[in-house]
Every structure is written in C-alpha cells, then in structure tokens.
C-alpha cells in the first residue's frame, strides 16, 4: 500500500522531473539552490536547519497552476485531496498591488506538522474570474464560460482514483502508479494547437486570462525550490547570465530572524506552441508563459505581526514614491531596487523585534513549545508563566515555519512575468469573491492559515502544561 504522504512525495518528484524536461532553466535553478543550501549548511551547521531539516528543504517545492471555473477547481481539490493536501488561505490577486490579474487563489497543502515534515509539497492554485465586469464584458464572459464548460482537464479515471485515495488514505501499488501517471500527465504542456484568434482576444484583457482560458488544458506554470540564502542564489543565477526580475519580493534581508516568505523569479524562454489560424492552418508559434521562481521561508507571523508587515510595506511604498530617483544625492549610486531594500531594512530594524525571543514575547510570531528533556532536576517546582519557563530553561521555543503565500508577492510574480499590463476597467464594481464563496464553490472548507498556526502553537502549550502538571499556560 502507498500512503498519502508517499503519493504526495512521489507526485512532487515526478512533477519536478517532468518540469525539468519541459523547462531546462528550472533544472539550473534546482542545481544552484542545492549548491547554495549545501554551502549554508557547511557555514552554519545545525542553525541552518532551524526552519526545517535539510532533507525537507532539499525536497521542498511549490507549484502553481491556473484553472477556469469553480467546477475545475473542485476537481483540482479532489486530485490534491488524494495527496493529503487541503485548500488553505484565500488570495485576491485582482486587488493586490496595481495588478490587473483576473484571478482569485488558494493554496493546497498538508496541514499538520508531521505531514509537513514528511513532505510539504504545496500548489498555489488560481481560478479565473469571468464574472468580474472590470475585466470581461458580458459578451466575452459568455464566450469564455462556454469555452471552459466544454473542456475536460482531468480524465474521469484520475478523479475516481483520487477519490479512492482520499477516502482510504492510501492506494494499492498498481493503482498508485496509474494515479501518478495520470496526475502528472494532466499538468504537462499540451501539444494541441491553440486557436490564435481566441487566445489573442483574451490576451487583450490579460495574458493570464489567455493562458487559462485560451487553451483546452491546464499545465504547471512554475515549480519553485526552496533555498536557505536567496540573496546568494540571486547573485549566482545572475552570474550565470540568467536575467532575474529586479527584486526579491517580500521582507528585506535584515539582521533579525527570517520572517514569512521571500521570493524571486526569472522569465522563462519562449516555448514552441502550435497555433491554429482562422483558416484552419497550423503554424509553429512561441509563447512565454512559464517561468522559474525560488523562495526562502521564514517564521509564520500572527495577525498582529502581519498587520505590522503590511504597514511597513505601505511605508516603504510611500517613502520610495517621495524619492523616485533614488534617495538623497549624497549616497553612492546603488543597484536596481537597492534603495528600496535599504529603506525597508531600516524600517524593519526600527519596527520589528530582532530576536525570536522578542517576537514571541510580543505575540508577533508563532512557535511550538516543548519541555526540555535533559534539564537537571533539583526538585524545584517549575515557574508558572511561559516567559519564566523559557527563561529558566524548562521549556524551549521552536519557530513555526510559514507554509503559505503573500498576495502582494504573488501579484508581483504574476506581473513581473507578463509583457503587457492587461486592462482593467476601474469604473466598474468588481464581482465579490471571498473565502466563504470559494469554500461553497468547491464544497470544501478553505482553511484559515492563522487558525492552523495557532492550533499548532496551542497544542504544544497544552502538552507542556500536561507534562509539567500546570493547569494553564
């Protein structure tokens, strides 16, 4: 029998092999990430594994896919449900930054600590929003919905196997093999010719709309390895002549603990795609839709920590806008994005505590707590507050790694890889989509990431209280 986590690990590995064949630059990215990780481990030893074992980090990937309708998203949820992955978080990329990306998204991922440690594979999954009149007028919406209703992304055999794996939490070896083959094939780039006129019609609204609704299948859009030093990775990729986007998205590099998520990407090369002209003739064309991305993960922050992060981003935006040409003239000319990064670093140092201890004490980040096993016993009773327990060495605090995404970075990643900004009619009222709507549409609860981190923290506190015979903590 092949258990869900084994299916998940095998799926992630096979998808990675497939994507490496389809997009060779991805393989370079994985190789450079591995080199950086080995160097960090050599330099820092055990500290390098504070946010996940090196084996977890080396195997860790997130993918991104894009679908067209709630019905398709519900099928995606079944395929990932088979792998023990649940929808977590709601991201509205129509609103993030000044973007014109007509999608709303969630991420499928394992949710409990043990499963995450076994294999944390996650997939950022976006769904087109044809009902949003800012992007699609009534005529285009109707054509788009008809087109989407007429395609099949996942064969019925795959969905049947997925349902069985989810219900039984495992599959016999032969069925597992079949499931994996069908699941990987469903995310390969299709060779079927693309109706060029239709693709271009959607492209005028947004390249993302065309990538989703202009073709009769879906495909993995990128696959992202995790790296322990993303600044070093950025340097090494640039040295190899690979042109990265201007910035690393997310928090700046600074002297305090890594928080949340930092990501950067490069544009993939144009890929050959068959295009069908209105007269029926098929020609060889090329489209640039897929790219490479890499990420570094930090500690998960609480709602309050996140509010502080969002406020700092706004501050950085405002102050950068005041000095669009690169700050005070006395300063040496920095590289692209350097001013912004420097400003962000200074603001972070001012507004965010620089140690794990202070982040925990101020309720800004999540930790799991455990009783220190080999503490010398001298018969004394443990103190009764968490702060004292940690300070006096009874209990240790380990950071909880951030397993989710950032809407603004995601919008930046989408945007930085589009040639055209697309169009959005801001005089129109946007269609309402939210987490509850999404839960209803796919008939599964879209989980709240904060609730998951909080539960993990609270469970660990309850365990400490039990072990030390304390009533509450």
Interface ranges with Ni ion (CB under 5 A): 64, 224, 293
Min separation Cβ 127 and ligand OOG, Å: 11
Which residue, 294 or 461, is less far from ligand OOG as judged by CB?
A: 294
Min separation Cβ 405 and Ni ion, Å: 7
Record the tokens describing residue 14, joined without a space: 């096979």
Min separation Cβ 119 and ligand OOG, Å: 18
Candidate residues 221, 247, 368, 416; the one interacting with ligand OOG per rule CB under 6 A: 221
Fill in the per-residue mask, 293 to 322: x = in contact with ligand OOG (CB under 6 A), - = not in contact: x-----------------------------
Min separation Cβ 221 and Ni ion, Å: 8
Site for ligand OOG in 235-274 (CB under 6 A): 263
Site for ligand OOG in 396-435 (CB under 6 A): 405, 409-410, 413-414
Confirm or reject binding of residue 126 to ligand OOG (CB under 6 A). yes
Residue nearest ligand OOG (C-beta atom): 410
Which of Ni ion, ligand OOG, none sits in contact with 99, Cβ below 5 to 8 A by type?
Answer: none
Exposure on the CB side of residue 424, measured as CA atoms within 13 A: 20
Min separation Cβ 76 and ligand OOG, Å: 13
Which of ligand OOG, Ni ion, none sits in contact with 221, Cβ below 5 to 8 A by type?
Answer: ligand OOG
169: left (phi over 0), alpha (psi -120 to 50) or beta: left
Start-to-end CA span in the chain (Å) = 41
Which residue, 410 or 464, is less far from ligand OOG as judged by CB?
A: 410
Which of ligand OOG, Ni ion, none sits in contact with 306, Cβ below 5 to 8 A by type?
Answer: none
Cα dihedral 221, 225, 231, 237 sign: negative
What are the phi and psi torsion angles at 193 (to 5°)? -60, 145
- Name 300's Cβ contacts closer than 8 Å, sequence gap at least 6: 260, 365, 366, 399, 400, 401, 402, 403, 404, 449, 453
- Name 136's Cβ contacts closer than 8 Å, sequence gap at least 6: 102, 130, 144, 205, 209
Are 397 and 389 within 8 A, CB to CB? no
Record the tokens describing residue 344, joined without a space: 């962000």
Which residue, 203 or 293, is less far from ligand OOG as judged by CB?
A: 293
Candidate residues 90, 108, 121, 124; the one interacting with ligand OOG per rule CB under 6 A: 124
What are the phi and psi torsion angles at 81 (to 5°)? -60, -35
Q: What is Dmax (Cα atoms) for the chain?
A: 88
Give CA–CA dist 433/441, Å, rounded.
10
Which of ligand OOG, Ni ion, none sits in contact with 409, Cβ below 5 to 8 A by type?
Answer: ligand OOG
Which residue, 260 or 364, is less far from ligand OOG as judged by CB?
A: 260
Min separation Cβ 208 and ligand OOG, Å: 7
Fill in the per-residue mask, 351 to 380: x = in contact with ligand OOG (CB under 6 A), - = not in contact: ------------------------------
User: Strands 271-276, 194-195: parallel, antiparallel or unpaired by DSSP?
Assistant: parallel
Give CA–CA dist 457/469, Å, rounded.
18
**Closest to 223 measured CA to CA, from 293, 155, 306, 323:** 293
Min separation Cβ 401 and Ni ion, Å: 16
Q: How many helices (H) and strands (E) does the chain have?
A: 18, 14
Which residue, 222 or 424, is less far from Ni ion as judged by CB?
A: 222
Fill in the per-residue mask, 50 to 79: x = in contact with ligand OOG (CB under 6 A), - = not in contact: --------------x-x-------------
Which residue, 229 or 293, is less far from ligand OOG as judged by CB?
A: 293
Which residue, 196 or 226, is less far from ligand OOG as judged by CB?
A: 226
Are 259 and 190 within 8 A, CB to CB? no
Q: Which helix (H) or strand (E) element contains residue 128? A: strand 122-128
Min separation Cβ 50 and ligand OOG, Å: 22
User: Strands 222-225, 271-276: parallel, antiparallel or unpaired by DSSP?
Assistant: unpaired
β-sheet bridge partners, residue 276: 195, 282
Give CA–CA dist 104/87, Å, rounded.
13
Give CA–CA dist 416/413, Å, rounded.
5
Min separation Cβ 393 and ligand OOG, Å: 39
DSSP annotation of 98 reads: T
Min separation Cβ 428 and ligand OOG, Å: 24
**Closest to 222 measured CA to CA, from 29, 3, 470:** 29
Which residue, 72 or 293, is less far from Ni ion as judged by CB?
A: 293
Record the tokens describing residue 76, joined without a space: 């995606």
Min separation Cβ 142 and ligand OOG, Å: 25
- Which positions lie near ligand OOG, rule CB under 6 A? 64, 66, 124, 126, 221, 263, 293, 405, 409-410, 413-414
């Amino acid at each position: 029998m092949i258990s869900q986590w084994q299916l998940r690990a095998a799926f992630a590995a096979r998808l990675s092999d497939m994507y490496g064949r389809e997009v060779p630059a991805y393989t370079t990215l994985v190789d450079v990430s591995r080199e950086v990780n080995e160097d960090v481990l050599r330099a820092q030893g055990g500290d390098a594994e504070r946010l996940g074992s090196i084996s977890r980090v080396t195997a860790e990937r997130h993918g991104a896919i894009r679908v067209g309708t709630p019905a398709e998203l519900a099928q995606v949820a079944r395929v990932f449900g088979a792998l023990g992955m649940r929808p977590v978080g709601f991201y509205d990329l129509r609103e993030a930054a000044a973007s014109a990306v007509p999608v709303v998204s969630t991420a499928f991922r394992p949710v409990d600590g043990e499963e995450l440690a076994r294999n944390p594979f996650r997939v950022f999954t976006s769904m087109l929003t044809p009902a949003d009149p800012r992007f699609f007028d009534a005529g285009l919406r109707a054509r788009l919905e008809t087109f989407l209703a007429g395609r099949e992304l996942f064969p019925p055999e795959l969905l049947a196997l997925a349902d069985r794996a989810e219900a039984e939490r495992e599959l016999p070896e032969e069925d597992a093999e079949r499931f994996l083959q069908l699941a990987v094939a469903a995310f390969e780039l299709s060779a079927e010719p693309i109706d060029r006129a239709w693709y271009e019609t959607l492209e005028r609204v947004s390249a993302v709309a065309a990538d989703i609704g202009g073709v009769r299948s879906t495909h993995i859009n990128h696959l992202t390895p995790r790296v322990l030093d993303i600044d070093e990775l950025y340097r090494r990729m640039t040295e190899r002549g690979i042109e990265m986007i201007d910035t690393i998205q997310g928090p700046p590099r600074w002297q305090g603990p890594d928080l949340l998520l930092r990501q950067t990407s490069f544009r993939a090369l144009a890929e050959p795609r068959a295009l069908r002209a209105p007269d029926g003739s098929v020609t060889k064309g090329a489209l640039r839709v897929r790219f490479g991305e890499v990420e570094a993960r930090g500690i998960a922050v609480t709602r309050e920590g996140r509010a502080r992060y969002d406020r700092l981003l706004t501050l950085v935006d405002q102050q950068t806008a005041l000095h669009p040409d690169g700050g005070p003239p006395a300063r040496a000319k920095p590289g692209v994005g350097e001013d912004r990064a420097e400003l962000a670093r200074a603001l972070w140092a001012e507004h965010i505590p620089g140690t794990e201890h202070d982040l925990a004490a101020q309720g800004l980040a999540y930790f799991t707590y455990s009783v220190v096993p080999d503490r010398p016993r001298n018969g004394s009773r443990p103190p009764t507050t968490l702060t004292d327990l940690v300070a006096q060495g009874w209990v240790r605090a380990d950071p909880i790694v951030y397993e989710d995404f950032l809407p603004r970075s995601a919008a930046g990643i989408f945007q930085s890889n589009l040639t055209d900004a697309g169009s959005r009619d801001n005089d129109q009222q946007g269609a309402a989509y939210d987490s509850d709507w999404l839960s209803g549409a796919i008939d599964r609860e879209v989980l709240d990431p904060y609730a998951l981190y909080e539960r993990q923290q609270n469970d660990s506190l309850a365990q400490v209280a039990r072990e030390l015979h304390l009533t509450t903590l």
